[in-house]
Structure 1
């Protein structure tokens, strides 16, 4: 009984502690970008520092840039972007970074549509995958109905593989994306026979 209570406590506390640790780390990192420069002058004249001031100024700058870009219809930023892309090394870093940020923060960002099983990495072995979309151009080239899927890694579903596969090779599962993520993160320990009902 004591052992069960101990592991139950771990299950409850460890995610909370890790979340708090990550949030504090992100807060300190974001605050240090501008905060150390601003607080240097505040401490010089007033003798104290204000935690979080760097984040406040960062948010204000982001909002200001958003307002300016909306009114100017991106003309200035488009010219600046074209200038950045002319530099080979800088352009290679900027372009994928922009796409990642746009994907993460766009209000109309795409999402995983369905959870499927796919035979991967070899015959007889199946992996969980998420349907991400379709491509009419690929369908025309291959003459098949191709589906784009994302096969996440375990235990971190943030990385993985993107493939285009014929739809008849997919096994659709009657589980949600959230349930699939739990299975992947836990290495399959949170799965059950009910999770894998085929639809």
Structure 2
């Protein structure tokens, strides 16, 4: 990391005044620089870039549809205040006898509900290891198995491909 010090003018280096070389100074300066750039990107520059990108993409017809859909999905996944994923459920998917973890996103309404004999709910089944893609399925409510794990624990389980198990709270009551 002393390569960072090559870009600092000699008159600003402590070695000039103290006649002592400070080991790791390049690393410290690099970390400080990263923190400053991150702060600026997140607060000042970053918000302007996001706003500018939104304006440009919203002017492109097909890109707007895709961008808005992905943006809403990511906000639902990563912003806790949206509560897009109401609860964790298990459904038989993609075929009978095979179960997948999904998230209850709402109750089907309108034409979908009118065409089915049973009450149908909306479930998002994310893929592993990228939970931002997945399958939207409509399942009869009586075929959905509610789970007691948190949305966060379910995402850990999905992203890890089943390697990270959620904490088993109330495991006896779910059986």
Q: Same fold (TM over 0.5)?
A: yes
Match of 1:95?
Answer: 65
Q: TM-score of the superposition, structure 2-length normalised?
A: 0.58
Match of 1:114?
Answer: 87
Any gaps of 5 or more consecutive residues in structure 2? 1-30
Instruction: Say whether the 8 Å CA contact 1:145–1:167 is kept in structure 2.
Output: yes
User: What's the CA shift for 1:159?
Assistant: 1.3
Aligned residues: CA RMSD: 3.5
Residue 131 (1) aligns with residue 104 (2) = yes
| Greater helix proportion | 1
Q: Summarize the alignment of residues 6-45 of structure 1 with structure 2, pairs less than 5 Å apart.
A: none
Q: TM-score of the superposition, structure 1-length normalised?
A: 0.52
Asked which structure has the greater CA Rg, the reply is 2
Identify the match of residue 188 of structure 1 among 162, 168, 171.
Answer: 162
- Pair 109,157 (structure 1): closer, same or farther in 2 beyond 3 Å: same
The size of the alignment, in residue pairs, is: 130
Equivalent position SS for 2:153: helix
Match of 2:174?
Answer: 198
> How far apart, in 2, do the equivalents of 1:191 and 1:105 lie?
25
User: What's the CA shift for 1:61?
Assistant: 7.2
User: What's the CA shift for 1:181?
Assistant: 1.1
Match of 1:142?
Answer: 116
Match of 2:132?
Answer: 158
